[in-house]
Structure 1
Amino acid sequence: MANSNLYKGSLSTVILKLLKETDRMYGYEITQKVKALTNGELSITEGALYPALHKLEAEGFLEVELVKVDNRFRKYYRLTESGSKETTLKLSELERYIQTMQQLVNPKLI
């Protein structure tokens, strides 16, 4: 996608949705899942992902589990109970936004 500004505001929602579907994931896994689901159209950089993960954790929406894998520690992220509720709210909000934008961009389809 040429203009990444169009989806930057949705990054937290994307992370929350993936974690709701997958139980727990680590950062690189999240980036690869997004790339696979969008056929390479969307690519999340580490510079965008980790601040978003840390913010979600600080807000109480994620909990972190450190797991030793091949003599290295990997941080797995999982939703808290409030994170699960926030995911539902964010997805509903995003869906309403997409519908509104669809009305503006292509009103004949509605």
Structure 2
Amino acid sequence: MASNSMLKGSLQTIILKLLEDNSEMYGYEITQKVKELSDGELLLTEGALYPALHKLEADGFLETYTQVVDNRVRKYYRLTKEGGKEVRNKLKEAQAFIDQLQVLLNLRSTTK
């Protein structure tokens, strides 16, 4: 299981990628999708999720709208045009970091 600090460092990337793959999602749906895709190994708390969503929205990468579902107001998030570009940037950054981490920890051969 990944530690909370490792998840926190990649949370924005995870959110952006999920929204790219799913068009739009609401908060609880995001937490459940992370849990599902990680076979329960990663548990995303509201205390971590919502500040990340608000930051991404403030940075112009997400837009929101609300909808009433079963007499409850649900806030949906989706990527802006800039958010779509940011997904690519974040994924490139993540892959470069993973590659360097693998080299540093000798998890793969450094010869190709």
CA distance in 2, matches of 1:33, 1:2: 16
**Structure 2 partner of 1:96:** 96
The 5 A counterparts of 1:41-52 are 41-52=41-52
Q: Structure 2-normalised TM-score?
A: 0.93
8 Å Cα contact 2:102-2:108 kept in structure 1: no
Q: In structure 2, do the counterparts of structure 1 residues 13 and 2 end up closer, same or farther at CA, with 3 Å as the change threshold?
A: closer
Query: Per-residue deviation at 1:109?
Result: 3.2
Question: Per-residue displacement from partner, 1:55-92 (whole Å, max 9, x unpaired)?
Answer: 10011100001011011110000000000000100000
Q: Detail structure 1 runs of 4+ shifted over 6 Å in the superposition.
A: none
- Structure 2 residue ranges without an equivalent (≥5): none
CA distance in 1, matches of 2:95, 2:2: 22
8 Å Cα contact 2:2-2:42 kept in structure 1: no
Query: Per-residue deviation at 1:32?
Result: 0.5
CA distance in 2, matches of 1:51, 1:77: 13
Q: Structure 1-normalised TM-score?
A: 0.95
CA distance in 1, matches of 2:15, 2:2: 21
CA distance in 2, matches of 1:109, 1:26: 41
Query: Per-residue deviation at 1:39?
Result: 0.6
Question: Per-residue displacement from partner, 1:9-57 (whole Å, max 9, x unpaired)?
Answer: 1000000000000000000000000001111111110000000000100
